[in-house]
Structure 1
């Protein structure tokens, strides 16, 4: 059995441990709210929303009803909550219908009722709800512009909140006077629950003026109708101090930090020292790839800042600025292709980068594997690694050398997982 295969098996088990730490039932068990006198209504949005709803049903002692929306292909069986599917990362008409269903689910409740909001990453695209004067097509154009901009997730969500009728806490406000408990699986750096899925049940603290400043600072090329709303004082998000939120509870039940700790524990149990660089790394994926590669090379050559063997772990959410056309791949694949180019020919380094939801961008892989010989294998297969990176085509490059990691939808989402083994 080759050393390369053994390293890939080890890296896969680390990924699995990180995902298991964010298992919906495990995450929910310690955070169940007190039962209400009245109805229990479950709502949710995100790539793991269906699995969260199914787990909540298993744990909840009493009747419930509700509706959640997840990405196409991510649904699972539930007993009481209705599961709807919609498009991600670009919204579609099914998402518009799901947004209306969640709106109806929280309408007409009383102070004796309880709303349990199961929120995880991906919910922004799955809940299109354009404000007056805008259409679904306008929200699609906004998402496409944001995805191509390279802006961090916090900036994207700040802009999205300005033009929605559900994001930025608005969905929770519609549930008033019912009590709302938001149980959040964080996929954002810093674990601010208002940033997960653009916070449909958690109001943001940032203002319209800050949104305008962010648009200018990042040079965002927004559709004219979107820019007009942001330039105005119409459709302002509710403030966190609004009395409608007074009795609400918000709990982050799973995060990248917990998943990285689980992977580190597995590595140490197998005799490999592990360090967590950060659970909140942001920035351009290819640049973060270079930074991680520089650290790995330093360890391989000089045993600093850590002695070999060592496992480097990190999480967060990088971004990709689209530079080419026709390329395939998400931020984890792009990170790893950049990383592979920087360790080209360096022995003793192997790595995985993958999205914990099981899908990297819009392809069928979570990420990929790489080592010091990956670029040589690509060149032998007729693939130019540098050219592939230049046109954002990391998926095709890794597919050519059978180095994709494709576990399928995992039922959770705590964002990027990166593990680098230096032997």
Structure 2
């Protein structure tokens, strides 16, 4: 089926099929395994060192598979690894452990996954390489309390729950959550660095503006916030709803009796490289390109699409007319893209 023809305007599939083509083009552009394979292809040959794979997020299995294939192609030694996802990964190298964890609220699997990373780091040798493969959902999937913080795992879950209910933007939520999670706010990179590893972090971005500190709670990025900043954010969100153990921990940091998060002055970050391999922009560009191939006039709304889905959808509809040039002939088919 096609829409009725108009003079000078090409035929198009029914809207549902057309939209499905645009959706598929967007998804294919950010397919994690292909994106990581492309990233590897752009890099120089890697030194002959042992490699550890840490893959976390909704795309963890696909990214780990790309890494395993890369290592095999270069006859590199895979020392071991951990894959953390929402379901058990398929076949992988026998030295890789698979962990099933919870999202969007952390649970027992999240704690077990965080401890699995601790065990992996204990086996890292000086000059090993760690490849951290990060995608959406990692904050919850790896959520365990900061070591020695006194925070209870159930309190961590309670914090996550009330932040999700608060309607706060994801960037603000992650600024809070990474502060109280074991591997967030650069703590994974510092632990690997203390073990002597060089860390390469490859990231599929699921946040506005592709801010590395916000993706997966920034496990390999120095933290730019202080405990005072986080207390201010929690006051806005509802300090009284914050579990006691978390309030005590934040107070201890501000008082100097508990350590701050790793900052950019920490020399360990000189051993870390981070690269974003797939973004929202990649997806929207691909959708727009496919729309043009189908003969549609494309209009872009540059403002990021974010917030509560129902409200964001309403804002998108409100922005349709302003996005389309007013001098276009009546009936000209348009595709409005926003992401």
Of residues 20, 24, 27, the one that matches 1:16 is 24
Aligned to 2:56: 45
Distance (whole Å) between structure 1 residues aligned to residue 303 and residue 99 of structure 2:
31
User: How do 1:75-94 residues align onto structure 2 when only pairs under 5 Å count?
Assistant: 75-80=89-94, 81-94=96-109
- TM-score of the two chains, using structure 1 as the length reference: 0.69
Q: Which runs of 5+ in 2 are unaligned?
A: 4-11
CA displacement, residues 287-328 of structure 1 (integer Å, 9 cap, x when unaligned): 32222111225578xx6497742111122xxxxxxxxxxxxx
**How much does 1:108 deviate?**
4.3
Aligned position for 1:206 = 225
Match of 1:137 among 154, 162, 178: 154
Q: How does 1:325-344 map to 2 (within 5 A)?
A: none
Provide the rounded CA distance (Å) in 1 between the counterparts of 2:261 and 2:267.
Answer: 14
Change (3 A) 1:279 1:40: farther
Structure 1 range deviating more: 304-313 or 257-266: 304-313
CA RMSD, aligned part only?
Answer: 2.3
Instruction: Name which of structure 1's ranges 174-183 and 5-14 shifts more when overlaid on structure 2.
Output: 5-14
More strand by share: 1
The offset of 1:186, in angstroms, is 0.3
Q: Are 1:227 and 2:247 matched, yes or no?
A: yes
Within 2, Cα distance between the matches of 1:203 and 1:158? Answer: 12
Question: Contact between 1:36 and 1:112, CA under 8 Å: does it hold in 2?
Answer: no
Q: Do 1:53 and 1:68's aligned partners in 2 also have CA atoms closer than 8 Å?
A: yes
Q: Which residue of 1 aligns with 2:86?
A: 71
Tell me how far apart the structure 1 counterparts of residues 144 and 264 of structure 2 sit (CA, whole Å): 20
- Retained in 1: the 8 A contact 2:114–2:182? no
Counterpart Cα distance in 2 of 1:37 and 1:200: 25
Residue 77 of structure 1, CA deviation:
2.8
Contact map agreement 2:139 2:178 (CA 8 A) in 1: no
- Tell me how far apart the structure 1 counterparts of residues 154 and 224 of structure 2 sit (CA, whole Å): 28
Q: Deviations over 1:337-394 (max 9, x none)?
A: xxxxxxxxxxxxxxxxxxxxxxxxxxxxxxxxxxxxxxxxxxxxxxxxxxxxxxxxxx
The aligned residue for residue 375 of structure 1 is none
Counterpart pick for 1:274 among 298, 305, 322:
298
Answer whether contact 2:299 2:323 (CA < 8 A) is retained.
Answer: no
Pairing 1:248–2:272 present: yes
The yes-or-no answer on 1:122 pairing with 2:137 is yes
Residues 306 and 152 (structure 1), Cα distance of their counterparts in 2 relative to 1, 3 Å cut: farther
State the shift of 1:231 in Å: 3.0
Whole-Å separation in 1 of the counterparts to 2:13 and 2:247: 51
Matches within 5 A, 1:298-313: 304=326, 308-313=332-337
Distance 1:191 1:146, change over 3 A: same
Q: Secondary structure of 1:281's partner?
A: coil
Cα–Cα, structure 1 residues 104 and 272, in superposed 2: closer, same or farther, change >3 Å? same
Give the SS at the match of 1:250: strand
- Normalised TM-score (structure 2): 0.85
- Partner residue, 2:126: 111
Question: 1 CA distance for matches of 2:182 and 2:121?
Answer: 14
Residue 196 (structure 1) aligns with: 215
Q: Which moved more, 1:212-221 or 1:39-48?
A: 212-221
Structure 2 CA distance, aligned partners of 1:79 and 1:175?
21
Q: How many residues align?
A: 312
| Matches of 1:117 and 1:95, distance apart in 2 | 17
| Maintained 8 Å contact 2:203/2:277 | yes
1:222 to partner: Cα distance: 1.9
Q: Distance in 1 between matches of 2:60 and 2:270?
A: 25
Structure 1 residue aligned with 2:6: none
Pair 1:25-2:43 in alignment: no
Work out whether residues 183 and 253 of structure 1, in 8 Å CA contact, stay in contact via their aligned partners in 2: yes
Structure 1: gaps spanning 5 or more residues:
316-423
Q: Distance in 1 between matches of 2:273 and 2:328?
A: 41
Correspondence for 1:343: none
Relative to structure 1, is the Cα distance of residues 251 and 50 closer, same or farther in structure 2, using a 3 angstrom cutoff? Answer: same
Number of the residue aligned with 2:179: 162
